Amino acid sequence: MKIIKLGKDSRQALGELLAKRNPSQYGTYADTVNEIVENVRKNGDAALFAYTEQFDGCKVDRDNVLVTEEEIAEAYEKVDEELLSVIRKALVNIRAFHEKQRRYSWFDSSEEGILLGQKLTPLNRVGVYVPGGKAVYPSSVLMNIVPARVAGVREIVMTTPPGRDGSLNPAVLVAAKEAGADRIFKAGGAQAVASLAFGTESIPKVDKIVGPGNIFVALAKKAVFGFVSIDSIAGPSEILVLADETANPRYVAADLLSQAEHDEMASAILVTTSKKLAGEVNREIDGFLKELSRREIMEKSLDTYGCILLADNLEEAVSAVNDIASEHLEIMTRDAFTVMTKIRNAGAIFIGDHSCEPLGDYFAGPNHVLPTNGTAKFFSPLGVDDFVKKSSIISYSREALEPIHEDIMRFAVKEGLTAHENAIKVRFAQEGNHGKDGDN
């Protein structure tokens, strides 16, 4: 990995490089995606099935697009008991963590006859997109479905691209069943996103779409935002390790590679105050690359989007960390918990030598659907709040409204909204003018 002295110019150059990974930068694909979305919107199943045959090489129709209980039962027979056991153990942790995020409707009242509150309502139907392709991620199935189920979403619909023979990955099907998916459809790509957003004869329209995917899926989610809600437009995975001379270079190297193996566009960055550690980490990376699979992907990721930033002190290092706002941040420093309190921007923070990123990906419980491309400055991990909506509750008695009604009228007049003023005025008009609490 390149070792770069941390400074104003290097920070700016790194920011510009990482920004190129943002899906919104890939405008060359936008026209294609928009065409697919519009075709599905207008032609429903006919367009969906045609694209599935074109892109996935699989013929689907109204009779086989929905995964059957028999197919799910077959998936259970194909998944080994060890994996099923791990899925179930992980589910316990993920569910327990997200149950702590639950919030409830609340109401405050006063003796004057004022009642104010907030009513929380789960979304009616949510669509979960699960990618196919290079890798299979049953862990992402759990992370997207569980918070929706905990939130009380009435129906969870999942789509995932089929193989040429119409089959789906058994581990994905089992994870979906265990997590609580209600219906699973054989559909992938931008056409699946459009089907969830607008509905077809086979796939129901949802209120929100969540889940990762390739550039076509990301751009399709961007295209349908506003017709439905989405979780985010996620970019390639990223990890940032903040370390000082006390860090174990072997651990740091292993953790950087754990994200570099995802994708050639994944980003792996070490920010350190120790030149000695930087050299040791590079040597460890070279050693691991000789042993691990997906070497070509990792090398390309590290060559293009990986680097080691050398900081003069911890304060400068923390400033750079907050500026980068990484999806995953590992802190391997002396007094790591104190350092953690200085972090403002990160999707998930892993503290200490043994809190490695894969722990969060699979098992600890917090959600691994995290903000990328610097959006941790204003976005949060996927959670229960993403699957509920809030309504404000307002109730005033006449006695409560009377002492403030003239203030409200003055406000309305200043804004030139005389109908607003009138809506208050009629309630305090003389009896006989049909204005007093419905007396006339």
Which residues form the catalytic set?
A: 327-328
Q: What angle do CA 261, 302, 2 make, to 5 degrees?
A: 155
Distance between CA 312 and CA 1 in Å, rounded?
A: 19
Cα 352 to chain centroid distance, Å, stands at 25
Helix, strand, coil in percent for the chain, rounding step 5: 50, 15, 35
The partner residues of 332 in beta bridges, in order of sequence, read 243
DSSP-based three-state secondary structure for 229: strand
Beta strands in 31-154 (DSSP E): 106-109, 114-122, 125-129
Distance between CA 212 and CA 141 in Å, rounded?
A: 10
Distance between CA 347 and CA 343 in Å, rounded?
A: 11
Taking alpha carbons only, the member of 268, 214, 280, 197 closest to residue 244 is: 280
Taking alpha carbons only, the member of 143, 157, 332, 156 closest to residue 250 is: 332
DSSP-based three-state secondary structure for 46: helix
Q: How many CA atoms lie within 13 A of 255 on its CB side?
A: 30
Taking alpha carbons only, the member of 136, 128, 139 closest to residue 169 is: 136
AA letter at 285: I
Taking alpha carbons only, the member of 170, 150, 149 closest to residue 84 is: 170
